Every structure is written in structure tokens, then in C-alpha cells.
Amino acid sequence: MPKKEAVKDVEIVKKTTEELILNFGKGKYSAIPMAALWAKELKKREENRHLTPAELLDLALRDVLGGKVDWKDLKKVVVEADPVEAEGKKD
């Protein structure tokens, strides 16, 4: 008798930004500067040129709160974008 294959019927529920903020475990106030830096980086990218500032901020918040972006990623992006400015921020 063949084994039945487990069929995963997972429905991805899109959470609102407010839900993501309330459920963020690393401290929601640390997410704000991360989202601001990520929004600046997203604004530079060609595929995001058509987005409004509010849409960019929402996208950045979703990336940060969803765990797609963390401080290590942001530090790498800032250093690659402007190494002189990143060195000045250490002082």
C-alpha cells in the first residue's frame, strides 16, 4: 500500500504593517532607523523609482519587520554606497 503524500495547503496571509510592527520581537523602535536607511536604499533602485515616499516607507518597513533586512545588511549597503561617509559615522 503506497504512502499518502502529505499535501500542504498553506495559505499565505498578508499581514498589515501594523500587525508586523506590533509583533516585531527585536524592539519596534530599533526598526524605525533600519527602515529609514533601507527606504533610502530602495529609493536609489531603478525598479522603485515610480513609488511614492509613503509606498517606499511601507515597503522598507515590511522588509525590516519581515526579517528580510537586518543591521548587517544595512551596514554592508551603507559602506558600499559611500565608504567615506560610513567611516565618518564611526567617530
pTM of the model: 0.66
For the chain, report the end-to-end CA distance as a whole number of angstroms. Answer: 69
Q: What is the largest CA-CA distance in the chain?
A: 69
pLDDT score for 39? 92
Grid cell listed for 88:
565618518
With residues binned 3-state (H G I as helix, E B as strand, rest as coil), the percentages for the chain, rounded to 5, are 65, 0, 35
The CA distance from 88 to 85, in Å, is 5
22 versus 49: the higher-pLDDT residue is 49
The CA distance from 68 to 48, in Å, is 17
Of 5-14, 17-26, 63-72, the range with the highest mean pLDDT is 63-72
Task: Enumerate the domain spans of the chain.
Answer: 27-90
